[in-house]
Amino acid sequence: MSLAAAPLPCQKDLFSLPRGIHYLNCATRSPFSQAVEQAGHDAITRQANPFGLHPDDFFNGADRVRTLFSQLIHNRTAGPPDPERIAIIPSVAYGMGVVARNLPRKPGIRPGQRIVLVDGEFPSDVYAWDRVCAELGLTVTFVAMPAGFPKGPEWNERLLAAIGPDTALVVVPPVHWMYGTRFDLEAVGQRARAVGAWLAIDGTQSIGALPFDLEAIRPDVVICAGYKWLMGPYSLGLAYYGPTFDDGVPLEEGWANRVDSNQFHRLTDYQPAYRPKAYRYNVGEQSHFIQMPMLETALTQLIDWQPERIQAYTHQLLTNSLNDLESLGCWVEPVNGTVGRCHHLIGLWLPKRADPMAVATALQAENVSVSARNRVLRLAPHLYNTPDDVDALVDVLTNVIGK
C-alpha cells in the first residue's frame, strides 16, 4: 500500500491515554493499548494458579511471537515465515553482544579491519564492539552526518563509500534514532555482501511502524527492542539471526535452547545439540509468562494495522503542521524515498536561538511529550494521536520560538 492509499482512522479509543495528554513520544516508549494491558492482567491472573501448567506452555507463547515477528519483517525464503530464525532477547545490547561474541568466528576476520557505524548511533550499538575490537585489532569508523541540509542523500552516499574490502561488519538502522533520517538498507546490504562484510540492523526505531522487507535487504542480523514501535513490554525484544550464525556461540547456555528440552522427564539426559537455527541465542527464562502474551497481542495488532498504513496516518497527521514549524525557523529533512525521512519519527531541527531543553520543558508544562536529542526535537506520533495533539505542539513552539 502506498502513502496515497486511504490511511487508517485514528485508533485513540483503543488506548487509555488521559484527556489533555499530548503524547508524541512513541520513540521513547509506546503506551500499551487496552488489549495489551488486558493481556498482561490476564497473564498475571493465570500465574496466581499455575496448576495444570504443561511443559509445552514454556515454549508455545514464544513460538507464536516468533511467527508473528517473522511475518512482520517478511522473514521467509520463497515460503512461509521462518520463526526458527528468531531469538527471544532482553535488549538490543544482548542481541549485539551475540554478534560481538561471534565476530571472531567470521571467515577472513583479521587485524586492521573496520566496523562501520553511522554517526550518533545509540550507545548499545556502539559499546558492543569495544572488547572485540581490542581482542581482534579492529577499529570502529563512524560515518559523519553532513553539516548542511538536506542530510539524507549525502549521508547515505558517505555510508556506502565507507564500506570497503577492509570492512568486517556494518551496523546501521533503517531510521536514525534521533533525526529520523532513513538509510537505504537494500543498497547497504548489496554493498556489504559485495565486500564480504556482515550486516547488522538495529530496527528498534522503525520495525512495527515502517515497512521492513528482510528478503530484499538480506541482512545477517536484525535486532529490535519490544517496547517502542512493537508496542510491547519493556525488557523483551526479538532478533533475527541468519544462516551465518547457525553454528555460532551463544551468550549463555540455557537449558530450554537444547533439543528435546520440552521433555521434562528427560532433562537430565543432557543434550549437546541445540534446537535449530537461532534458538541457541534465546535468553534464559525465555518463556516470559506475563510479558510474552502482551507482546503477542501487540504484534497481532500491528500486523492488522500494517506498518505502511501507520506511515500513511502519521504522514497525514503532521504534514501541514511541519510547514508551520518551518516558518518559525525550524528545519525538517524532506521526504526523499529511502534516503529522506520517515513519517513516524521526525527530527525537528530548532533554530540556533532556541535552547532544546528549555523548549522541551515548555512543552512538558503544557502536557506535550516529545524528546530533545542534541539540537533536535524528536517527534514520534502514532495512531493514537489526533490533530489536537499536533495543534498543542505547534502552539507551544510558536509561543516559545516565535518570540
pLDDT at 403: 63
Burial label, 9 (beta-carbon count in 10 A; 0-12, 13-18, 19+): exposed
Q: What are phi and psi of 53, to 5 degrees?
A: -60, 130
The 10s digit of each residue's pLDDT in 186-217 is 999 999 999 999 999 999 999 999 999 999 99
Give the list of residues 6+ apart from residue 348 with CB closer than 8 angstroms, or none.
322, 325, 330, 331, 332, 376, 377, 378, 379
pTM of the model: 0.95
The answer to whether residue 40 is domain-embedded is no
Which of the listed residues 303, 333, 366 is the one where a domain comes to its end? 303
Burial label, 76 (beta-carbon count in 10 A; 0-12, 13-18, 19+): middle
Residue 176 contacts residue 197 (beta carbons within 8 Å): no
H/E stretch holding 226: none
The answer to whether residue 36 is domain-embedded is no
367 and 353 within one domain: yes
Task: Look at the chain and report how many structural domains it folds into.
Answer: 2
301: its cell numbers: 495488532
pLDDT at 77: 64
What mean pLDDT, rounded, does the chain reach? 95
Per-residue pLDDT for 220 more than 70? yes
402 vs 342, more confident = 342
Tell me how far apart the alpha carbons of residues 244 and 4 are, in angstroms, rounded to a whole number.
38
197 and 313 within one domain: no
Residue 87 contacts residue 282 (beta carbons within 8 Å): yes
Look up the domain containing 371 and give its range.
12-24+306-401
Sign, CA torsion 356/358/359/364? positive
Percent of the chain whose predicted confidence (pLDDT) is above 90: 92
The 10s digit of each residue's pLDDT in 299-331 is 999 999 999 999 999 999 998 899 999 999 999
Structure confidence at residue 4 as a pLDDT band (50, 70, 90) = very low
Distance in Å from the first CA to the final CA of the chain: 42
251 and 212 within one domain: yes
pLDDT at 373: 86
320: CATH: 3.90.1150.10
Structure confidence at residue 6 as a pLDDT band (50, 70, 90) = low
